[in-house]
Amino acid sequence: MIFYLIVCRSLTYAQRTAATLERSGIPATILRSPTGVSANGCSYSVKIAHKRLAGALEALNRAGLTPVSVYITSGDGSYREVQL
Amino acid sequence: MIYLDSAATTLQKPKTVPRAVMKAMYQFASPGRGGYAAAMGAANLMFQCREFAADFFDTSAPDQVVFTSNATMALNIAIRTLVKPGMTVVMSCYEHNAVTRCVKAIPDINVLIAEGPLFQPEKMIESFRSQLKQADVAICNYVSNVFGYLLPIQEIAALCREKEVPFIIDASQAAGCLPVSVESWGAAFVAMPGHKGLYGPQGTGILLCGAHVMPEPLLYGGTGSASVEQDMPDFLPDRLEAGTANVPGIAGLLEGLRFVKEKGTGRILRHERHLIQRAGMQLKSVKNMELFLAEDASVQTGVLSFRIRGMDCERIGQRLSAAGIAVRTNLHCAPLAHQYAGTLDTGTVRISASAFNTEREVDRLVEVIRSFA
């Protein structure tokens, strides 16, 4: 299954991000960032479905929330950063 | 026991508070330290409390709500962020040692005291107006912990905005019975305990940070974020929350906040003020009584100080304690306030009400005082 990971600078930021997405009708799950996507050690990411990225970025932009980075996964455990 | 020391700590809590503490102790682990259910449950709880506090105290975002151990810790962070050696600080003459000792510990500080007699807010506004011209930072408590004097915080905040002087507010005696609005005041920081008027457990406090301030950490350590970096994170709340959080305490604090919001700060204030006025009116006729009761009740909260000429305050406290009544005596960690009120040599006896006190309790207090005065 393909999904996106919105990497956040902190757990609180991830919680704000997830809350904003949920309020916009976009299902969002907070999880610890996989080691490969977290440049500075521990961080949290928000997982959203593949088709929801555009709407999610729009909602976050409206709320003034900026992701550290966004990654896409193909489901085989590999991640690739998405250039926004 | 009749408990009338809520300005120190509220003892009677809403039933939801200890229940939430117990639940958190059994169910929640460390937030930000794992992705498993017990850790994420703790994280969700803390976020709920942050969101609730941000909304209730009109703070720009939940990130700006920092959990501390008490108001003293919050004030230390605020003061140490803004007050640097060589600066001039203006503070009211009613400040607590949590402010005065912290400022004194910073070398080479010029302290200006904004003076004004008790219960005369206009005088205090004038004093701040004149002192702010020379100040780098202003600090003021919203309510005096000794006298329940409600200081004109909105007017002082407006003066600070006009003069562009960063403003630190000690809301220790106000949070829970008076409105707090970080955004509209433009305050740099607002500090408050969780265990007084917010009815949370001891060991909880909140520092509300203004939107454009990057505070200096007081503690350094793990935050569960940016772990590779050896500097503390440059974002809130992580920058100020090193180490394991007091999750059970914050669970209780959230329930305390919900209780206050549901009851309404205005209603709580009216109740506490009514009890203090009731006590004050009856105590007036006690022989040798010196009461610090405002003629205009609107400038005093549910805190009342008194002393009885010829009787040691500690002795009065002991007599009341023997009768099952808990009050605070002596200087209440605020010698500066006593100095300006003329009570430094004797201290005072302080009674302070909460939402749980009753008229009957206050009447019993008066009855006991009459029996030995």
Interface check for A40 against chain B (CB to CB < 8 A): the answer is yes
Domains and CATH numbers, chain B: 2-10+264-372 (3.90.1150.10), 16-263 (3.40.640.10)
Give per-10-residue mean pLDDT for chain B (373 aa): 98 98 97 91 97 97 97 98 98 98 98 98 98 97 98 98 98 98 97 98 98 93 92 96 97 98 98 98 96 97 97 97 97 96 96 98 98 94
Please report the pLDDT score of residue B32 as a whole number: 85
Interacting residues of B101 by C-beta distance below 8 A, sequence separation 6+:
none
Cis? peptide before B215, omega within 30° of 0: no
- Least confident piece of the model among A32-41, A64-73, B139-148, B193-202: A32-41
**Residues of chain B contacting residue A37, judged by C-beta atoms under 8 Å apart:** none
Distances (CA, A) of B228 to A8, B210, B236: 15, 28, 17
Best to test chain B binding among A10, A13, A17, A43 (most B CBs inside 10 Å): A10
Report CB contact under 8 Å: B225, A31: no
Question: What domains are there in chain A, each with its CATH number?
Answer: 3-82 (3.30.70.1530)
Res B74: pLDDT: 98
State the pairing for strand pair B2-3/B325-326: parallel
Question: Which residues in chain A (41-80) have CB-CB distances under 8 A to chain B?
Answer: 41-44
Residues of B in contact with A65 (CB under 8 A): none
Q: What pLDDT is attached to residue B215?
A: 97
- What is the amino acid identity at position B131? Q
CB contact under 8 A, A40 and B229: yes
Label residue A4 by pLDDT band (50, 70, 90): very high
Q: Which residues of A touch B233 (CB under 8 A)?
A: 9-10
Q: What is the dihedral of CA B361, B362, B368, B369, to 10 degrees?
A: 160
CB-CB: which of A9, A30, A42 is closest to B235?
Answer: A9
- The confidence band for A59, taking pLDDT boundaries of 50, 70 and 90, is very high
- Band of pLDDT at residue A66, cut at 50, 70 and 90: very high
Q: Say whether A41 and B51 touch across the interface (CB within 8 A).
A: no
pLDDT surpasses 90 at A38: no
Query: Residue A74 pLDDT more than 80?
Result: no
Chain A CB contacts of B50 below 8 Å: 12
Chain B residues whose beta carbon lies within 8 Å of the beta carbon of residue A32: 34-35
Comparing alpha-carbon positions, the chain B residue that sits nearest to A8 is B225
Residue B159's CB is within 10 A of a number of other CB atoms, namely 18
A11·B34 Cβ contact <8 A: no
Partner-chain contact B238 A10, CB within 8 Å? yes
Contact A41 B228 (CB under 8 A): yes
Taking the C-alpha atoms of residue B151 and residue B137, their distance in angstroms, rounded to an integer, is: 18
Are residues B226 and A32, on separate chains, in Cβ contact within 8 Å?
no
- Determine the 3-state secondary structure of B223 from DSSP: coil
Evaluate if residue A39 carries a pLDDT over 80: no
CB of A2 within 8 Å of a chain B CB? The answer is: no
Alpha helices in chain B (DSSP H): 16-27, 37-56, 71-82, 97-104, 121-131, 153-163, 182-185, 247-263, 265-283, 313-322, 335-341, 359-372
A31 in B contact zone (CB under 8 Å): yes
Of residues A44 and A1, more confidence is placed in A44
Tell me the nearest-neighbour CA distance from B79 into chain A, angstroms.
25
Which residues in chain B are closer than 8 Å to A16, comparing Cβ atoms?
A: 61-63
Q: Which helix (H) or strand (E) holds A55?
A: helix A53-63
Asked if A62 and A19 count as a contact pair (C-beta separation under 8 A), the reply is: no
Q: How far apart are CA B264 and CA B312, in angstroms?
A: 38
Q: How confident is the model at residue A41 (pLDDT cuts 50, 70, 90)?
A: confident
- Under an 8 A CB cutoff, do A31 and B227 touch? no
Q: To the nearest whole number, what is the mean pLDDT of chain A?
A: 92
The shortest CB-CB distance from A10 to any of B34, B40, B235 is to B235
For the record, the structure tokens of B96 come out as 């607590």
Say if the Cβ atoms of A16 and B61 lie within 8 Å.
yes
What integer pLDDT is reported at residue B320 of this predicted model?
98
Residue A2 in this model has a pLDDT that exceeds 90: no
Over 90: is that where the pLDDT of A35 sits?
no
